[in-house]
Amino acid sequence: MESAHTLYIGLLGLGTVGRGVVMSLESNRMQIETRTGCSIKVLGALVRHIEKPRNLDVSAFNVTDDPQAILLDPRIDVVVEVMGGVEPARSYIRQALLSRKHVVTANKELLAQYGDELGELADRQGVRLLFEASVAGGIPIVRMVQQYLTANRITSIRGILNGTCNYILTKMEDDGLPFAEALQNAQRLGYAEADPKSDVEGYDSSYKLAILANMAFPVKSLVSAVQRQGITEISEQDIRAAESMGCVIKLIGEATYDGQQVILKVGPRLLPREDALAGVRDVFNAVTLTADVVGDLTFIGRGAGELPTASAVIEDLMEVLRTPSPYWNEPLRSFSASESSEKGTTRDSSVTAH
């Protein structure tokens, strides 16, 4: 049955996440059409290697290595950027926004560094820039902060923000796997970044923490201000020593706002087994938000992998269908002005690392 309206999308990238998006749009086609009265159709996908086997039926759309085949196609309403890296992703997204195409992206590295620029461009062009998949995989934490906690003042964010690291630490603890073997498994499962240093050295968690902090707090957070340490130094002896103390080791991202300054930290922490984050295992992520009216809220879900990440992307596509206006791009940037002056800090004051 043909829907009254079709949203046409072009993918930049057809790897782990892109493949998950194509598969889930197909598996949940009826659900999407019933809920929205609209259908979503993939017209094309940009890849680097056209001949690479994809284990996916690509007969219904154009697989190309020419970015302009996606970016200049006037039929495409939404560009879904799931290729990763800063360039050429940033230029392609800019071109898409300048052509008044909505953009959905999973690219935390890009957003943590150029989110302001891209958000402002999307606003000027009157289109949406959505990025639910950029933080904590399938957990709808971005929309939670942007839409459901705007009357609350958020004072802290604490969580496990990297699925690869949590998977590695869990396998080292449960199965006694060496670090390198656990990392190889995470790569095989599609959890790790193209360069897994980003995961294990804490950069990926830092990007996600900065994105969350900029949505949650009225002071600009720079990713360069995150006090960062990864898990590469964690040995099996450390894991066993933690165990003997009734603790586990987790890579934790923490951001606090005291009304003046934001302090951002990512690093391995020794958590007692009673800590809510200690029981979050395998590829799961968890985020606890503390806000003045609601108190603590904790969200747990799969933080990486094909389908959990695709879930966040396709929910962003539903959001484009629901609200094609750019109004909600605003909270991508620190929501500075009014709150900052009330607190006596300046709009552009940046974050201090301690």
- Residues that bind ligand HSE in the complex, under the rule CB under 6 A: 137, 162-164, 191-193, 199, 204, 303-304
State the Cα–Cα distance between residues 239 and 178, nearest whole angstrom: 11
- Pick what 206 binds: ligand HSE, ligand NAP, none; C-beta below 5 to 8 Å, kind-dependent: none
- Pick what 164 binds: ligand HSE, ligand NAP, none; C-beta below 5 to 8 Å, kind-dependent: ligand HSE
Contact (CB, 8 A) for 243 and 170: no
Determine the size of the site formed for ligand NAP (CB under 6 A): 27
Residue 46 interacting with ligand NAP (CB under 6 A): yes
- Pick what 47 binds: ligand HSE, ligand NAP, none; C-beta below 5 to 8 Å, kind-dependent: ligand NAP
Q: Could you count the other beta carbons within 10 Å of the beta carbon of residue 180?
A: 9
In the bound state with ligand NAP, the residue whose beta carbon lies nearer, of 143 and 153, is: 143
Contact (CB, 8 A) for 284 and 138: no
Phi then psi for residue 235, to 5 deg, are -105, 170
State the Cα–Cα distance between residues 283 and 186, nearest whole angstrom: 9
Q: How far is the CB of 354 from ligand HSE (least distance, A)?
A: 25
Which tokens belong to 128?
Answer: 């949406």
State the Cα–Cα distance between residues 238 and 303, nearest whole angstrom: 24
In the bound state with ligand NAP, the residue whose beta carbon lies nearer, of 218 and 305, is: 305
Residue nearest ligand NAP, Cβ-based: 15
Per the rule left: phi > 0, alpha: psi between -120 and 50, beta: everything else, 70 is alpha
In the bound state with ligand NAP, the residue whose beta carbon lies nearer, of 112 and 247, is: 112
Q: Could you count the other beta carbons within 10 Å of the beta carbon of residue 233?
A: 9
What does the per-residue mask of binding to ligand NAP show for 180-199, with x meaning CB under 6 A? ----------xx-xx-----
- Please list, in sequence order, all residues whose beta carbon lies within 8 angstroms of the beta carbon of residue 234, skipping any fewer than 6 positions away: 169, 172, 179, 249, 268
In the bound state with ligand HSE, the residue whose beta carbon lies nearer, of 125 and 164, is: 164
What does the per-residue mask of binding to ligand NAP show for 284-323, with x meaning CB under 6 A? --------------------xx---x--------------
Residue 8 is given by DSSP the state E
Q: Among residues 208, 220, 250, 265, which one is catalytic?
A: 208
101 part of the active site: no
Three-state DSSP state, 167: helix
Nearest to 139 by CA among 298, 299, 20, 331: 299
In the bound state with ligand HSE, the residue whose beta carbon lies nearer, of 214 and 336, is: 214
**Under the rule (CB under 6 A), what is the footprint of ligand NAP?**
13-18, 46-49, 52, 82-84, 88, 106-108, 133, 137, 190-191, 193-194, 304-305, 309
* Residues belonging to the active site: 208
